[in-house]
Structure 1
Amino acid sequence: MARHIYACPLRWSDMDAFGHVNNAVFLRYLEEARIDFLFGSEFGKGNHSFSDGSVVARHEIDYLRPLVHRPEPVVIESWVTHVSRASLTVSYEIKDEERVYARASTVVVPIDRETGRPRRISDEERELLAAYRDDEPAADQADAVEGAVAV
């Protein structure tokens, strides 16, 4: 099982009044990692499967620790935890060498651009996604919420 690794820079504008990365910004981080995974990585090279488009059907985020601005990027690991006939679930961990700041998942639905309707995931796409397929890691007791991320 492979995980896609994306180094996500933290921007000063990501901060809220409390000095934390704002909770809504985490969605942008996930989007950047997902686009890099599906289109810019080894998975995406030469694979035009999802280039017609996709839509996000659901996001789920568990904020485990506050993330504060710093010059070093955070790492976002992405992998596939579920593939159905017409959707896939991408899971993520936003972390550095010492801590996991958030765990998240996104349900992605590929669409037919001409009709704007959901489409089935092809056998070829399933095969490509299988290399990144894994069960989501169990939450560790050490990952208990240490503080809320400000809204």
Structure 2
Amino acid sequence: MGVFVTEVRPRWSDMDSYGHVNHANTVTLLEEARVDLLFHEAALRGAEDLARGVVVASLTVDYHAPLYATGRAVRIAVSVREIRAAYFILDYAIHNGPSEIDQVAVTARTTLAPFDLDAGKPRRITDAERDFLAAWHNGGGRG
């Protein structure tokens, strides 16, 4: 598989006074893509424990061009850069439209740690989660 692709539609209310999607709302678009992968797709493939608790340990966002709310969806490509015993790293590329040929406006990276909400502490990645994440491993590339 390598790259998980989803479409998210920026809202008019996401734009700031400069007419482009502001930083906080861009991070929300990343979150929506991450939920599609780690909650919905993971549940379909037997890794539903990811939806029970994952926390963002770090976030890096790089802007390459303005991102606009035009009424159409933007393409967000997500891939797994690295998998360790107690964390994993996702790479993102947000395109200015729904196609892979649309300009990449934003790239980002999140380090995520599975978290046991009942115990209130991080936990190890399970074998099922590792297998699911490995299917989206892209060697650090961006889509």
Higher Cα radius of gyration: 1
Identity fraction in percent = 37
Aligned length: 137
The alignment status of 1:24 with 2:24, answered yes or no, reads yes
For the residues of structure 1 that align with 2:28 and 2:43, how far apart are their CA atoms?
Answer: 20
C-alpha contact (below 8 Å) 1:86/1:110 kept by paired residues: yes
For the residues of structure 1 that align with 2:8 and 2:52, how far apart are their CA atoms?
Answer: 25
The alignment status of 1:3 with 2:19, answered yes or no, reads no
C-alpha contact (below 8 Å) 1:37/1:44 kept by paired residues: no
For the residues of structure 1 that align with 2:51 and 2:62, how far apart are their CA atoms?
Answer: 29
Higher helix share: 2
Q: Which amino acid aligns with 2:6?
A: Y
Listed as ranges, the matches of 1:1-151 within 5 Å are 1-41=1-41, 43-45=42-44, 46-95=46-95, 96=97, 97-137=101-141
For the residues of structure 1 that align with 2:110 and 2:31, how far apart are their CA atoms?
Answer: 9
For normalisation by structure 1, the TM-score amounts to: 0.85
Structure 2, unmatched stretches of 5+, are none
Structure 1, unmatched stretches of 5+, are 139-151
Structure 1 runs of 4+ with >3 Å offset: none
Give 3-state SS (helix, strand or coil) of 1:80's partner.
strand
For the residues of structure 2 that align with 1:47 and 1:98, how far apart are their CA atoms?
Answer: 31
Aligned-residue Cα RMSD (Å) equals 1.4
For normalisation by structure 2, the TM-score amounts to: 0.89
Instruction: Give the match for residue 144 of structure 1.
Output: none
